[in-house]
Structure 1
């Protein structure tokens, strides 16, 4: 079952999951939700960057799933000049990642069309249109972006005899990880659990059926998950580079 032909236009609606407490980012998240934390030197909260990026990629409507200190996020949204239409929802009770995604998706304006989704703590830039084309070409039900982050420690290269050959500072990981950005077919919403984690239920089932695709981020695309104060500092340094 698929929703899009290979020449279908990319999605124009998206869900942003912005309800996390961000406990590892304290004290920055003592008075604001994680997506409202600003990257030093930019003056823009993470959510502002995301909405600008989504709009630049053709998204006209976004649903933001709020949680921790939702009123702070709502106040910012009300005051900001937003580049797209935004609706906010708040779970009546904790539903888990999959249940929360399903609850937010119910507020999308066009339930019969595909949609993007992103975690609210992702700071990235790449072509969502290319990702949507990749998704359509594979007739996938769900596609997740894949990143290859740098390992935060130095690596040691050795030969087969155990001699140390080189020291490599923060090398790229040999493994791809879930980058927290998705394209979903319209009918994916019905496959989500009402409560629980879709990455333990829906995704494994789609993978077994070869309906889950992985889109590697293009070479040179910027990506960082903002989880700790160190991530803020490093993101600011990276973005300041010419």
Structure 2
């Protein structure tokens, strides 16, 4: 049976892969952050992202490079990739919003919606469901929302102040921007040519009720790889997932 939502879903994406990853040193001394490998997989973060995007129906990806761009471009040029990849490099820093706008200019279908993701996110959830959510709400932009585990143990108490339980690394009570997006055609024109869209474009769309938030389903895997500890934790979680 034909899926009535299929035609409205994105088949193109942007990966923002220009960060220096200073908190991941020494892993990022000779490679950009998205080229850091998840221990035990033999594959860099961006390799996992490209596989995931392909599984979700994406055929074309624009990778915005920056720090040690030549290392990333060489890997992309010599790897057997599941999607068509175009790389772009900013001639001067444009900020997150400006960089996203610049990269979007190289998408092959400017009249169609698109996904975007930060280059340090390792996740698995249904982008198709997120795209349908975006369409149903008539949003211009939709961001995935995650509840990351806080790095400390939590203490539960009763109404009298007695400690009743200890919870190791519980999920946050707040949702955060998970660094994965769905954007409608024309969204790039709303982005600043320089600067941060999260301080300009997103707040404006939120006031206009044209910005949606898609909660990543409970049990779906999500992690931002910011530090060496994140790499270690990701490797442990992967071992658990494949058992």
Comparing 177-186 with 162-171, which one deviates more in the overlay? Answer: 162-171
Hey, what does 1:28 align to over in structure 2? Answer: 27
Hey, what does 1:233 align to over in structure 2? Answer: 232
2:157 & 2:96 partners in 1: Cα distance?
41
1:60 & 1:167 partners in 2: Cα distance?
46
CA deviations over 1:103-157 (Å, ceiling 9, x no partner)? 0001101111100000000000011000000000000000000001111100111
Within 5 Å, give how 1:53-64 maps onto structure 2: 53-64=52-63
Q: Which runs of 5+ in 2 are unaligned?
A: none
Q: 1:6 touches 1:137 (CA, 8 Å); kept in 2? A: no
CA deviations over 1:20-69 (Å, ceiling 9, x no partner)? 00000000000000000000000000000100110111101000000000
Hey, what does 1:50 align to over in structure 2? Answer: 49
Q: Which runs of 5+ in 1 are unaligned?
A: none
Q: TM-score, normalised by structure 2?
A: 0.96
SS at match of 1:51: helix
Hey, what does 1:143 align to over in structure 2? Answer: 142
Q: 1:143 touches 1:184 (CA, 8 Å); kept in 2? A: yes
Aligned residues: 238
SS at match of 2:8: coil
Hey, what does 2:37 align to over in structure 1? Answer: 38
Cα deviation, residue 6, structure 1: 6.4
Hey, what does 1:16 align to over in structure 2? Answer: 15
1:167 & 1:54 partners in 2: Cα distance?
38
Q: 1:8 touches 1:136 (CA, 8 Å); kept in 2? A: no
Cα deviation, residue 8, structure 1: 4.0
Cα deviation, residue 159, structure 1: 2.1
2:237 & 2:219 partners in 1: Cα distance?
12
Hey, what does 1:77 align to over in structure 2? Answer: 76
1:198 & 1:9 partners in 2: Cα distance?
24
Hey, what does 1:153 align to over in structure 2? Answer: 152
Cα deviation, residue 171, structure 1: 0.6
Hey, what does 1:110 align to over in structure 2? Answer: 109
1:176 & 1:80 partners in 2: Cα distance?
36
Q: TM-score, normalised by structure 1?
A: 0.96
CA deviations over 1:59-91 (Å, ceiling 9, x no partner)? 010000000000000010011001110000011
